[in-house]
Amino acid sequence: MRLSTPAMANRFEQAERERMLFAQQQEYTWVHAPGQPPYCKGVPPGEEFTAIKTARMAIDVAESVADMLLATTVRLFKHNDTVDSFKRYYPIRAVPEIAKTWATDEEFARQRLNGINPILIKLATEIPEKFPVTDEIIKGLIPETTSLNTLLAQKRLFLQDYQILDGLEPMLGRFCVAPVCLFWVDDTGKLMPLAIQLGQTIADAKTIFTPKDEHWTWLMARTFVQSADATYHEVAAHLTRTHLIMQTFWVAACRTLPPQHPLHALLKPHFTGTIQINYEARNTMIAPGGPIDQVISIGAEGSLTLIGLEYEQWTFNGSNPVVDLENRGVLSADVLPGYYYRDDALLLYNAINNFVRDLLRVYYEDDEQVRQDTEVQAWARELASEDGGRVKGLPLTDGAIATFDQLQLIVAQTIFCCSVEHAAVNNGQYSQFGWIPNTPGAMYLPPPTDHAALDEANFVYALPDAFAVGEQLTMVHLLSQRTQSPLGDYPDGFFNGVQPARYALDRFRAELDDIGRQIVKRNEGLSAPYVFLQPWLIGRSIAI
């Protein structure tokens, strides 16, 4: 099958394109469920998991079940009111490394930058009225010669706000808050926590916690933040922003681009298994009684509400990595050092941009050829249409892709989100969520509202029970499976016979290798290496 744009096809090839498009449009039909990104009805032929993927998933679940069965047999011989007792849940698998450092403030702050949810922290330009932190509250945590106003002026204060969780109802017996957190870059260049408010207003939260609080009281406040972070991460940053929203780009492509189109050929490897895994997520993961219902504080019903809230505020232009970092005020390494997610993501985005530009240039010499491609223009209309993908914020001119640069941006960002962004919020789930005291999916005691001293038993009693622990470990270990098809790895037939495209692929692979070497060198000097965006660990699609 010859890859070509409509202008390159003869009348026989054009007839075949139209026949194949008609068939695809019958198989890929839209579902518009209230409060969710549009998705494909069912799983069309060819979109199923490979047999290897299915087998690996089954083996992973079986190992988790065996782990929990063994853990249950030793439970009677372990004391249950200590953090250390959680190690009983790892009779086969190794205890995550984070169990050694999770209780330190350095590690708590590090996870804001280089943990599994690195996309929320933002530069503080003021202290929000709803979060009345004062110099007196943090006295002793910053040098006596400085102040909050000084730190604001020096761009050394940062906020993490979980406002989107405000008002979501947790399931019976569970507790969820919508915290606001303040961090600062200390005199050594390290991000450190200053204050936590366990609610959107001081009236709801009652007080502001700081590292000056008694150890277990401060740790309890921190862990409520971690639990809120788990809720936002799993449902919004991971499921909604990568899995669900990105599927619309592929469904729209299958309804408008025949297999002969070079853009169809370029996008297809980046959506391997996506429709199938999202089908499973809707019907199993976030279904009543499913893992999310068992693990996350707000359960399945609250998670569907959160999906709607995140989807409502999501836009294509706002999710561009450069724009997102600029909007949060953290694009510059001078402002926020040690933000390795940012550094690696920008390198990878640039590499993907270069690859997409080089490959598309094989087929489009100028803007006019892009404008004249009727199938690409149909894809753009399908993406933006209320009857189609409903994607907001696309870089279009009067509803059309008017320039080569617009096409390159849409394609490059789509590939970035399906690979790099997904890896950033997926690959470290077991590393971070696999140690329950670090990031419990839900809390089972009300949040503290005063500074009374707590002890270890109080803290442990607020954490999930054995059943919820088992569900969380099973879920995050399954989702953290190492990819078998990393970014840059394409099927054997990928643009075969199109030599300029193969040269573009060779350059892309070489650039990925160079980025990988840079990351290895950087990580050699780090006590906590950031590896989630190592190119050979990034799946080229969400589901492989």
Each domain of the chain, given as residue ranges in start order, spans: 6-118+233-537
CATH superfamily of 6-118+233-537: Lipoxygenase-1; Domain 5 (1.20.245.10)
The DSSP code sequence of 310-326 is HHHH--TTTTSHHHHHH
Q: Which residue has the tokens 């491609």?
A: 373
Question: In the numeric block, which tokens belong to residue 444?
Answer: 């089972």
Q: Which two tokens stand for residue 512?
A: 């990925």
Give the torsion sign (CA, 196, 198, 203, 206).
negative
- Predicted TM-score (pTM) of the model is 0.94
N-to-C CA span, the chain: 26
- Segments of the chain with pLDDT less than 70: 49-79
403 Cβ contact partners less than 8 Å away, ≥ 6 residues apart? 367, 370, 397
What type of residue is 148? L
The owner of tokens 């359960």 is 299
- How deeply is 62 buried, as exposed, middle or buried, from its count of CB atoms within 10 A (0-12, 13-18, 19+)? exposed
Does residue 167 sit in helix, strand or coil? coil
Q: How far is CA 45 from CA 23, 276, 287, 397, in A?
A: 11, 10, 24, 35
Q: What is the DSSP string of 345-407?
A: HHHHHHHHHHHHHHHHHTT-SSHHHHHT-HHHHHHHHHHH-TTTT---S---BTTB--SHHHH
The two three-digit tokens of residue 508, written as one number: 């892309």
Decide the pairing of beta strands 39-40 and 180-185.
unpaired
Query: What is the pLDDT, as a whole number, of residue 48?
Result: 77
Q: What is the pLDDT of residues 315-340, one digit of tens each?
A: 999 999 999 999 999 999 999 999 99
Separation of alpha carbons 359 and 356, rounded Å? 5
Give the pLDDT score at 91.
87
Share of the chain above pLDDT 70, in %: 94
On the 0-12 / 13-18 / 19+ scale of CB atoms within 10 A, 339 is buried
Nearest to 282 by CA among 268, 292, 271, 272: 292
pLDDT at 410 (0 to 100): 98
pLDDT of residue 79: 44
Q: What per-residue confidence (pLDDT) applies to 71?
A: 54
